[in-house]
A and B are shown apart, each in its own frame.
Chain A
Amino acid sequence: MIKEQKITKPTTLSPKLVRDLREKIIEFVLFLAAFSAVATTVAIMYVLLAESVLFFQEVSPLEFLTSTKWTPLFAEKNYGILPLVSGTLVTSGVALLVAIPMGTITAMYLSEFAPSRLREIIKPCLELLAAIPTVVYGYFALLFVTPFLQKIIPGLPGFNMLGAGLVMGLMIIPFISSISEDAMRSVPVGLREGSYAMGATRLQTAWRVVFPSAISGISSAYILGASRAVGETMIVAIAAGLQPKLTWNPLDEAATITAYIVQVSLGDLPHHSIEYQTIFAAGLTLVLMTLVLNIIGHFLAKRYREIY
């Protein structure tokens, strides 16, 4: 009955055609939304490269990579990225020295030792660690951690990479622990049972069986944590100082790539000036550094997934 009614309805387009057309249009709109991810990546690369090309017309890439001074905002201009890179590497290094051991131990405990109810409590608490705004972490580093460090290490300057790095390490722990824990938990139970059957304790099993089996997932966690540290901005901009300085001493103050971009953005620079272009060249360096880390990280994570 219903079908007959539908057919007798005077329509210019068959309902099926309208329906199919609507489905196609919806699918296309959804595709465009998904494609926005690609568009964003392309836009990022376009903006960074376009401004960097202008920058490298003024400054030779050789000077950019080898000069040991970065003073684009001074009268005597030097464009060597090395001081900013050294600042970035030192702060990230300090952060990883804190985050890798603590993150690994946390992951190992949560995956191999903790009763499930305790895990349900600890995991959300760790997530909150990652949820705190980085500007608040910067405040901690500058006004609580650095004064505390100054009591232990006399002569420590008010801005230093050590305090910033330590606090950044605290921030990265949850990233490292959650990815490492996932990697350890996906090690087949059979491997653990084999180890227990041989009389190994939980700790021995965790260290000698689970950890090596999950090593590529865990190292991917370390590398993604490193990429996070390299790109972190507010903590270092607040607590590590804004002086570009080629130094490997964490007790020193030095600017990172990200801190330099913040410093320039706080001022008011004309659009087409070379100072304006420097932040894009610095940004490009930063993106390339994190991109290499991310690619290695994902490659490792993928490899380990294929084993089991």
Chain B
Amino acid sequence: MDYGEVLERFEPVLGLEVHVELSTVTKMFCGCATVFGAPPNTQVCPTCLGLPGSLPVLNGAAVESVVRIGLALNCSIVPWCRFARKNYFYPDMPKNFQTSQYDEPIAVHGSLEVQLADGSTFTVGIERVHMEEDTGKSLHVGGATGRIHGASHSLLDYNRAGVPLIEIVTKPIVGAGARAPEVARAYVTALRDLLRALEVSDVRMDQGSLRCDANVSLMPRGSSTFGTRTETKNVNSLRSVERAVRHEMSRQAAVLASGGQIVQETRHFDEDSGTTSPGRRKETSEDYRYFPEPDLVPIALRDEWVQRLRATLPELPWQRRARVQAEWGLSDPELRDLVNAGALDLIAATVEAGAPAGAARSWWVSYLSQQANSRSVELTELPITPEQVARVIALVDAGGLTTSLARQVVNGILAGEGEPEEIIAARGLAVVSDSAELMAAVEHALAAQPDVAEKIRSGKVAAAGAIVGAVMKATGGQADAQRVRELVLARCAP
């Protein structure tokens, strides 16, 4: 069945669950460090190891982060909530229960407006945002793929156990139709950008600090009853989100079209093939036996505290877009191009760092975009910051650099040679602005080309170009050509 046919017969319904690891200094319920990549079981204590007798104490910074996330997603922050225990056995969970929130999430009923590539927007409803703790990491040894199947034993590292985890669950996403995979990807992208702006997480899908599970079901056209959904895990990049959703839609359509039924199950996304496969089916569905966590006391979210946190929210990405568009007088297509190039936030940040909008835009959209393309990376992945770009622009404006020198400085930054000032000094790139030095060079050039000098003196101003060229050569291009020309003309004035 081709994709078009899938959409003719079915309306896809999505539910996206995103888990975010907070970048707090310490874990959710104990004072252990959360540094990525530490040697195994070196960032643990009785609490996150679940040793007998240990107790949790809630990280206040994590609470503030989740409230800010909820506010940024236009959620209502509940006045009171508790933690609950989610009980099940698994070796990566030291207590064999996860301290989470069940029927009392801290934030509910929000929305996120997501912009698609063609400029249209799609509003994704947010059902809930809640706090939980991450599990340890298991290494499965002995199998072919490093996965569970065929493994002889497993090795557990609990460094990650207890790291604060925020779960964001969407309301069913309906009506995206053929664009469902794109909407899914755009949602996760927008969420990632938002969380980055809030500075609450590193949001690195490749490091696991942002994880996405995609729930997909198909509703036959004309029906209003949701179909059976599957949950796909191991979706480790933005591209995978889109591919996984698309694959599931097609797979489910094929099953339903041939008269089969969708099994409600958890599936595993395979990066290489772009397909999903079923996880091991459980005999009985899990009964998590949730009950209020007795070792933690409830959280009372007083209004003035929530408002204080609201005041700490940075300008959120869509707010920035609207403001920038107004300030720079951009048309919608212009704005869209900038957004698609991933340049908007970078330009805005450069402007915030003091650069004029035009120069900022110009640098990012032309020279830096070329650099990004030639290195096959995203603009945001270039090893240069908006602050550095702003400094370079400022140096050019102040006359310390010419445009071509500035490009050399930028190349130096991209090469990791350091800050603009360091590179200028190391490479000797400063504009020669010392009058005496310049005058000397001008004199020298005039003396070397007396016939040209004569022409200038007789009024042929255009001839000055040859002298300027000679001076530029003599100074290794580090003179300000305009200035040199002025000096030449002044020197040759009658």
The answer to whether A binds B is: no
